[in-house]
């Protein structure tokens, strides 16, 4: 028996950063995101050898342990170890023997929520194998708790919920880690037009998002007015983006993206840099009406809204920077798991 799962990566269209504590606890956050046809995959093969084998195929990393109730959460493949420990602690209460293989369609640190999406995919595979009673909110909350609490990794709340639920969602964040996911019913022709006009561009560099996120949190805790006001404007941007998309005012998307990008850069240092600024200005000069970096910032993926016929001019203009364009489609489903016999 083989158990498989996959979960979609996401692009954050508006409100990024307002899902991070302590801002979301004190003021409430709002984000609009959409999942895309890039995925994190997990495969579990039960073993009777008394061994645990974890293989990150994309990273070319493999580790092996004797089956035990708790794996050491240090060194390589910490996420997978942390998930296993929580599954045993909360559900099986005894060691498991298996081979876990994973693969992600985008590099770590690229700004598409790769780490959290991988966590959701792995949990989904365990849930399918062990028939765990996990609904969508349960699974997303478990993924969040493992990353942010068990493993003490800095970050927000949106990625786990995006990967679990899938589709276009307007998410609201409150104190005590409360999250409300509002799926958006968007007309198909609006989705087609957005997909035709959005360009996803990988800068060729990755970054450690936790450092930027920690700086944002420090700024909010220190009551730095500039950072807090920027977050307030990002939350308002999420509302503006939701209304524009639902009402079919797609010509406003680029302007709203640009509005958010200017405030995003004010939340912490390191979100942009000279290379990112140059790419962004080149895209606008070629005809893009707006854009932003995906995720916390500092590198990874950027995306641009290119209305009318400007898509091809922007494609041509950005080739000089040596990055890579990724084709994608919006997805309507989140984490999916199945048995392959």
Q: Are 156 and 219 in a shared domain?
A: no
335 domain-assigned: no
166 domain-assigned: yes
Residues 6+ apart with CB under 8 A from 277: none
Specify the pLDDT at position 158. 95
Domain-ending residue, one of 167, 185, 203: 185
Band of the pLDDT at 207, cuts 50, 70, 90?
Answer: low
Domain-ending residue, one of 185, 207, 224: 185
244 domain-assigned: yes
67 domain-assigned: yes
Q: Are 123 and 201 in a shared domain?
A: no
Band of the pLDDT at 268, cuts 50, 70, 90?
Answer: confident
Q: Are 337 and 125 in contact (CB under 8 A)?
A: yes
289-to-160, 180, 250, 298, 311 alpha-carbon distances in Å: 30, 31, 11, 21, 10
Specify the pLDDT at position 200. 96
Q: Range of 233's domain?
A: 188-325
User: pLDDT per residue over 174-202, tens digit each?
Assistant: 988 899 999 999 999 999 999 999 999 99
Specify the pLDDT at position 191. 96
Angle between helices 274-286 and 311-318 (to 10 degrees): 140
Q: Are 174 and 112 in a shared domain?
A: yes
257 domain-assigned: yes
For range 130-147, the mean pLDDT: 97
**154 vs 232: which has the higher pLDDT:** 232
Residues 6+ apart with CB under 8 A from 209: 109, 111, 154, 155, 295, 296, 297, 298
Count: domains in the chain: 2
Specify the pLDDT at position 141. 97
Band of the pLDDT at 221, cuts 50, 70, 90?
Answer: confident
- Domain CATH code at residue 55: 3.30.230.10
Q: Are 55 and 178 in a shared domain?
A: yes
Q: Are 64 and 141 in a shared domain?
A: yes
Q: Are 249 and 114 in a shared domain?
A: no
Band of the pLDDT at 155, cuts 50, 70, 90?
Answer: confident
**Given the residues 58, 74, 159, 176, the one annotated as active site:** 159
341 domain-assigned: no
308 domain-assigned: yes
For range 236-244, the mean pLDDT: 97
Q: Are 18 and 139 in a shared domain?
A: yes
Q: With pLDDT > 90 as the criterion, what percentage of the chain qualifies?
A: 82
Lowest mean pLDDT among 39-43, 83-87, 153-157, 308-312: 153-157
Band of the pLDDT at 209, cuts 50, 70, 90?
Answer: low
331 domain-assigned: no
SS3 call for 314: helix
User: pLDDT per residue over 93-134, tens digit each?
Assistant: 999 999 999 999 998 888 899 999 999 999 999 999 999 999
| Whether 159 is catalytic | yes
Q: Given the structure tokens 């478990």, which residue do they identify?
A: 142
Residue 341 has pLDDT above 80, yes or no: no
Band of the pLDDT at 210, cuts 50, 70, 90?
Answer: low
Q: Are 283 and 303 in contact (CB under 8 A)?
A: no
Q: Are 66 and 107 in a shared domain?
A: yes
Asked if the peptide bond before residue 254 counts as cis, ω within 30 degrees of 0, the response is no
Q: Are 22 and 133 in a shared domain?
A: yes
Report residue 73 as tokens: 């959460």
Domain-ending residue, one of 140, 164, 185: 185
Band of the pLDDT at 223, cuts 50, 70, 90?
Answer: confident
Q: Are 68 and 211 in a shared domain?
A: no
Query: Cα dihedral angle (312, 314, 316, 317), rounded to 10 degrees?
Result: 160
Q: Are 226 and 170 in a shared domain?
A: no
**49 vs 220: which has the higher pLDDT:** 49
User: pLDDT per residue over 25-62, tens digit each?
Assistant: 999 999 999 999 999 999 999 999 999 999 999 999 99
Residue 255 has pLDDT above 90, yes or no: yes
Q: Are 92 and 237 in a shared domain?
A: no
């Amino acid at each position: 028996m083989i158990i498989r799962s996959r979960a979609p990566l996401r692009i954050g269209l508006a409100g990024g950063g307002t899902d991070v504590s302590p801002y979301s606890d004190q003021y409430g956050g709002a984000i609009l995101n959409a999942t895309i046809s890039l995925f994190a995959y997990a495969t579990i093969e039960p073993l009777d050898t008394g061994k645990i084998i974890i293989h990150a195929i994309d990273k070319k990393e493999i580790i092996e342990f004797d089956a035990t109730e708790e794996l050491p959460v240090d060194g390589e493949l910490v996420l997978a170890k942390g998930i296993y420990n929580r599954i045993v602690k909360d559900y099986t209460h005894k060691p498991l023997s298996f081979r876990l293989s994973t693969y992600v369609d985008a590099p770590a640190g690229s700004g598409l929520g790769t780490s959290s999406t991988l966590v959701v995919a792995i949990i989904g595979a365990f849930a399918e194998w062990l028939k765990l009673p996990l609904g969508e909110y349960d699974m997303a909350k478990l993924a969040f708790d493992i990353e942010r609490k068990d493993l003490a990794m800095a970050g927000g709340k949106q990625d786990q919920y995006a990967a679990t639920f899938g589709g276009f969602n307007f998410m609201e964040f409150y104190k005590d880690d409360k999250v409300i996911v509002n799926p958006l019913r968007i007309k198909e022709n609006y989705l087609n037009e957005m997909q035709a006009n959005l360009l996803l561009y990988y800068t060729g560099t990755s970054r450690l998002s936790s450092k930027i996120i920690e700086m944002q949190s420090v700024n909010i805790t220190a009551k730095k007015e500039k950072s807090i006001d920027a977050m307030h404007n990002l939350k308002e941007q999420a509302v503006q983006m939701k209304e524009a998309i639902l009402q079919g005012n797609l010509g406003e998307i680029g302007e709203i993206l640009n509005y958010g990008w200017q405030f995003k850069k004010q939340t912490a240092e390191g979100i942009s840099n000279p290379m990112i600024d140059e790419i962004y200005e080149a895209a606008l000069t070629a005809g893009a009406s707006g854009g932003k970096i995906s995720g916390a910032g500092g590198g990874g993926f950027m995306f641009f809204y290119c209305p009318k016929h400007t898509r091809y001019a922007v494609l041509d203009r950005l080739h000089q920077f040596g990055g890579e364009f990724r084709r994608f489609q919006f997805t309507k489903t989140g984490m999916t798991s199945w048995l392959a016999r």
